[in-house]
Structure 1
Amino acid sequence: MLAPNSIAAAATSNAEVVAHRRTLWRWHFYAGLFVMPLLIVLAITGTIYCFQPQIEPLLYRDRMVVADTHGPQLSRDVLLAKAVASEPRGAVPTLAQIESDRTRSAEFVFRLPSGESESVYVDPYDGAVLGKLSVEHRLMKQVRNLHRGLMMGKAGELLMELAGCWTLVMIGTGVALWWPDRTNARKGGVWLPRLSLTGRAWWRDLHAVGGIWLAIGALFFVLSGLPWSGSWGKEFKALATSASLGYPKGAWGEAHVHSTAPGAAAKPADEHAMHGMHMTMDDLPLKQTPWAVGATEVPDGVSAPASAGHVSIDDVVALAAKQGVTDDYGIALPGKPTGVYTVSYFPADPRDERTLHIDQYNGRVLSDISYASYGRVAQWISYGTSLHMGRYFGFANQIVCSAISLGLASLAVTGFIMWMKRRPARTLGSPARPVKRPPMRAWRGGLTLLGVIFPLMGATMLAVWCFDRLAFGARRAVA
């Protein structure tokens, strides 16, 4: 027979465990309530965008795909002239997309007088203009905008950034709730759901077991996606750079970047005064730019010589080929007399990433930034991005990413069903607060750390805590 003190101690211990789990459940509930609808949007749009290389040639086959005549192709400057002739007065060519596949048309991007951009597709064998596509309104651009910011501009980007941060809370609390312990011993429902169950218990097993299998993938998606976010991602990039861990600095001769300073004629009288006026890689009309070089400055070339002869696009392609850049990349065209050609190569293998700035008059390579030039953090992010987008190991990577994405969407659905099954009518249905607040110092420290690393999330966590105290402070569960 147990002594009264032992019984009391066991009861206290059990009450603490229950309070601990209830607290975790409440945070998991609040995180899921916010993340759930956004997670479905992220999952669906991410899966669609993952298959962009397959979808676009099917969707726009009449413009993107041509028959290989096995004959010679026209020079890219001739093809550009054909595209220019098809555009309205005032349209400015900004980008040449380079493909080595002989069944793909030549693509050139123009900035229209209205401020929007459109792609013009030209048959590389006979110069016929095959059609045009709006850059801003094409399907994959819309899908990407939905994925990154719900097509709501800055506000949408911040909302999606918050969704990513709160997913970290959802993952952490979900794993803690799933974790089997002595007081929560069970024979099933750990690694495989107990399909013999019925009702809400069946949905709970499906949700918990599915969540633990997807936890690592979800964590990877969040951590590899946040560096691209509109607010925190930019600040993180600046911090990584200041610590010499991010992208190479844009100044000449720094960060082990192979570069050649432009001629004296190209330098402004007060270089420091002009520093903030330079265009960055993110400002260029490129389809994709490696994260590591997004904020680096685009250098100016030499001023136009007396006999102003321009390097042709084919010459730029040949120069890029010598540096190992051979297929599926963009060349941003010079937009001013001292402008340069910018070659941006964003391949599936991050180790092959390359950025070249080439003088438009003499063909000199002014700057050559390769993967080896990146800081350690930028290299990790490059790998993460390639895996996140389903590019690194081909079609298998796309399948894995799609499975994780759609699995996360299914978790949102099962979580919603569980909520609806337990929610009383006309109430929020949040888990009851425990009578005694458990210490949970490690969890509070972890949440505080997240709030410091992600200040926007920290502000919303504080808001949720205040809301919970004010709205539900008087309602406590019986221990």
Structure 2
Amino acid sequence: MDTRPETFVQSVSGTRGYRTLWRWHFYAGLFVMPFLVILAITGSIYCFAPQIEPLLYSHQLVVAPQSAPRLGEDTLLAGARKGLPVGAIPITARISAQANRSTEFIFRMPDGRKASVYLNPYDGTLLGQLDPEHRFMQIDRMIHRKLLLGKPGELLMELVACWTLVMIGTGIALWWPRATLMPDLRLRGRPLWKSLHATLGIWIAAGALAFVVTGLPWTGSWGKHFKALATSAGLGSPRGHVPFRSTPPGQSATNSATANRHASSPGRDSMSGMTMDDMPLPQVPWAVGAVHVPNSPGVGAPHASPLPLDQIVAQMRAIGLTGGYDIVLPTSPEGVYTVSYFPANPKLERTMYIDQYSGALLKDIRYRDYGAISKAVSYSTSLHMGRYFGLANQLVCTALSLALATLAITGCVMWWKRRPSGSLGAPTRERTAPPMRAWKIALVALGVVFPLMGATVAAVWFADRFLFGRVVPSAPA
């Protein structure tokens, strides 16, 4: 295989530092290439979840609209319990206003797994069950976020996002302003692949950068620390989210303390001390993820009974929420009804906590209560997921995703065509390293902002310095 530098490289590498940038672009691209393809496919699929899921699970999710009134939620919940094993606990009710959609209740089974039970809201007919953790879209989402590998996979995908920033930054530096806005289709072989790669990269650079940055707040390590930092600065979660501490009806202070200790036991779903991120909800707004769930203050008679679910739904209807929200049901004497409304328009997001005994609204968190960072993340999340402006948003996200996958594939082809047999094929280093202060400052800044990435940058620098590559004289300035 011919391993000589290409004519194009010879013609454009006169600027000192070109090979250094190319070398870092190579390392970043080689690492992220396979993961970008996975992210592109899973992300594109997830964007169309509203259209795909009703097709996959039409028997469970879709019903024929009827003119008859819908049954009450408590009647439907009683029907959902039938056929379930003793000890199954209802934990979440999904309230839909769509006339052609079923009613869904999520139960915690005695063995710890979850089960979604679906009923026809008009006649209470049981439509079937699904495992919410193994629905197609949930699996797709978990591949997108953590490759189904748990915490290690989550950290790996965070690294992929960070190194994609390096790949985009070095790609822009390498090709701008040399790249044309249209590929040269007269070329053949590797030059043609390079022309396609460079042109596509320039066209999608800004969108790809925005795509990656808007996904970072949801990462498992950096995202959580970023949320905590934003909250402490008053720019993230709403202030004043310390949980209420009080005694439920008919319970002494000692017994209440004992109940609170049980709150952290496995299988409990809506207990004191939990945050919204811990709740049995498909998704919650980023801004309220760190908000603590309060206790029911225990207002009422000494032996008050929890309010029926129908009353909570009626309260939501009275304030304008007719559907499209989830209710986490209280599973302990001090628990609350937690209502989570996570629509496509961030300005309509709403999180409410309702005393299970009196129906008192303990807290009502709206978009206006968010800090500046949380407001920005809310909008960026809706855009990133293809939710904000409907089908057009879905198509834009899909186009960006597939373009990133195409960049990965064309980069892989280019590498394979120039890779010497039995070698990694990294671009050769310059003998005299140029200052490149701006590049070094940017890389250090990224490492400081993203510590996990900083550690891997140091590892790559060490390997590049002492293990890989040949040194060649720098091209003349």
TM-score, normalised to structure 1, is 0.90
Q: Which residue of 2 aligns with 1:437?
A: 433
CA change 1:468–1:268 in 2 (3 A) is farther
The answer to whether the Cα contact below 8 Å between 1:349 and 1:386 also exists between their aligned partners in 2 is: yes
**Shift of residue 221, structure 1, vs aligned partner:** 1.3
The answer to whether residue 200 in structure 2 is matched with residue 210 in structure 1 is yes
Give the partner amino acid of 1:299.
Answer: P
Give the partner amino acid of 1:448.
Answer: V
Q: Distance in 1 between matches of 2:156 and 2:228?
A: 21
**Shift of residue 68, structure 1, vs aligned partner:** 1.3
Deviations 1:41-70 (A, max 9, x none): 111000001111111111000010011121
Q: Distance in 2 between matches of 1:323 and 1:22?
A: 62
The answer to whether residue 42 in structure 2 is matched with residue 45 in structure 1 is yes
Q: Which residue of 1 aligns with 2:231?
A: 241
Q: 1:368-387 maps to which residues of 2 (within 5 A)?
A: 368-387=364-383
The answer to whether residue 340 in structure 2 is matched with residue 340 in structure 1 is no
Q: Where does the alignment leave 5 or more consecutive residues of structure 2 unmatched?
A: 1-10, 265-271
Q: Which residue of 1 aligns with 2:297?
A: 302
Q: Distance in 2 between matches of 1:365 and 1:223?
A: 36
**Shift of residue 318, structure 1, vs aligned partner:** 2.3
Give the partner amino acid of 1:417.
Answer: V
The answer to whether residue 286 in structure 2 is matched with residue 291 in structure 1 is yes
Give the partner amino acid of 1:61.
Answer: S
Q: Distance in 2 between matches of 1:45 and 1:252?
A: 37
Q: Which residue of 1 aligns with 2:53?
A: 56
Match of 1:108 among 105, 110, 113: 105
Q: Which residue of 2 aligns with 1:94?
A: 91
Q: Distance in 2 between matches of 1:161 and 1:268?
A: 44
Deviations 1:158-216 (A, max 9, x none): 00000000011001000011112xxx5xxxx5111111111111110100110111111
Q: Distance in 2 between matches of 1:17 and 1:440?
A: 14
SS at match of 2:55: helix
**Shift of residue 311, structure 1, vs aligned partner:** 2.1
Q: Distance in 2 between matches of 1:429 and 1:456?
A: 26
More displaced stretch, 311-320 vs 164-173: 311-320
Give the partner amino acid of 1:466.
Answer: F
Q: Distance in 2 between matches of 1:434 and 1:232?
A: 34
Q: Which residue of 2 aligns with 1:157?
A: 154
The answer to whether residue 165 in structure 2 is matched with residue 175 in structure 1 is no
Q: Distance in 2 between matches of 1:15 and 1:101?
A: 59
Give the partner amino acid of 2:294.
Answer: P
Q: Which residue of 2 aligns with 1:80?
A: 77
CA change 1:401–1:112 in 2 (3 A) is same
Percent identity among equivalent residues?
A: 56
Q: Distance in 1 between matches of 2:12 and 2:158?
A: 37
Q: Which residue of 2 aligns with 1:3?
A: none
**Shift of residue 86, structure 1, vs aligned partner:** 2.4
**Shift of residue 326, structure 1, vs aligned partner:** 2.7
The answer to whether the Cα contact below 8 Å between 2:432 and 2:473 also exists between their aligned partners in 1 is: no
Backbone CA RMSD of aligned residues: 2.2
Give the partner amino acid of 2:397.
Answer: C
**Shift of residue 435, structure 1, vs aligned partner:** 1.5
Q: Which residue of 2 aligns with 1:282?
A: 277
Q: Which residue of 2 aligns with 1:353?
A: 349
The answer to whether the Cα contact below 8 Å between 2:428 and 2:470 also exists between their aligned partners in 1 is: no
Q: Distance in 2 between matches of 1:373 and 1:455?
A: 30
The answer to whether residue 186 in structure 2 is matched with residue 196 in structure 1 is yes
Give the partner amino acid of 2:182.
Answer: L
SS at match of 2:294: coil
Q: Distance in 2 between matches of 1:70 and 1:89?
A: 35
Match of 2:220 among 230, 234, 238: 230
SS at match of 1:368: strand
The answer to whether the Cα contact below 8 Å between 2:429 and 2:470 also exists between their aligned partners in 1 is: no
Q: Distance in 2 between matches of 1:430 and 1:149?
A: 28
Q: How many equivalent pairs are there?
A: 451
Q: Which residue of 1 aligns with 2:269?
A: none
CA change 1:324–1:444 in 2 (3 A) is farther
Q: Where does the alignment leave 5 or more consecutive residues of structure 1 unmatched?
A: 1-13, 254-260
The answer to whether residue 405 in structure 2 is matched with residue 415 in structure 1 is no
SS at match of 2:82: helix
Q: Distance in 1 between matches of 2:242 and 2:220?
A: 27
SS at match of 1:428: coil
Q: Which residue of 1 aligns with 2:7?
A: none
The answer to whether the Cα contact below 8 Å between 1:19 and 1:436 also exists between their aligned partners in 2 is: no
The answer to whether the Cα contact below 8 Å between 1:356 and 1:365 also exists between their aligned partners in 2 is: yes
SS at match of 2:106: strand
TM-score, normalised to structure 2, is 0.90
The answer to whether the Cα contact below 8 Å between 2:247 and 2:334 also exists between their aligned partners in 1 is: no
The answer to whether the Cα contact below 8 Å between 1:262 and 1:366 also exists between their aligned partners in 2 is: no
Q: Distance in 2 between matches of 1:346 and 1:138?
A: 20
Q: Which residue of 2 aligns with 1:451?
A: 447
SS at match of 1:472: coil
**Shift of residue 17, structure 1, vs aligned partner:** 4.0
Q: Which residue of 2 aligns with 1:123?
A: 120
The answer to whether the Cα contact below 8 Å between 2:427 and 2:469 also exists between their aligned partners in 1 is: no
Deviations 1:246-299 (A, max 9, x none): 01135359xxxxxxx67666896899x989961111111111100000111110
The answer to whether the Cα contact below 8 Å between 1:119 and 1:132 also exists between their aligned partners in 2 is: yes
Q: Distance in 1 between matches of 2:393 and 2:420?
A: 43
Q: Distance in 1 between matches of 2:425 and 2:16?
A: 18
The answer to whether the Cα contact below 8 Å between 1:432 and 1:477 also exists between their aligned partners in 2 is: no
**Shift of residue 306, structure 1, vs aligned partner:** 3.6
Q: Which residue of 2 aligns with 1:138?
A: 135
**Shift of residue 91, structure 1, vs aligned partner:** 1.0
The answer to whether the Cα contact below 8 Å between 2:248 and 2:334 also exists between their aligned partners in 1 is: no
**Shift of residue 302, structure 1, vs aligned partner:** 2.8
**Shift of residue 40, structure 1, vs aligned partner:** 0.6
The answer to whether residue 67 in structure 2 is matched with residue 70 in structure 1 is yes
SS at match of 2:453: helix
Q: Distance in 1 between matches of 2:402 and 2:12?
A: 38
Q: Which residue of 1 aligns with 2:424?
A: 428
**Shift of residue 327, structure 1, vs aligned partner:** 2.3
Q: Distance in 2 between matches of 1:325 and 1:69?
A: 21
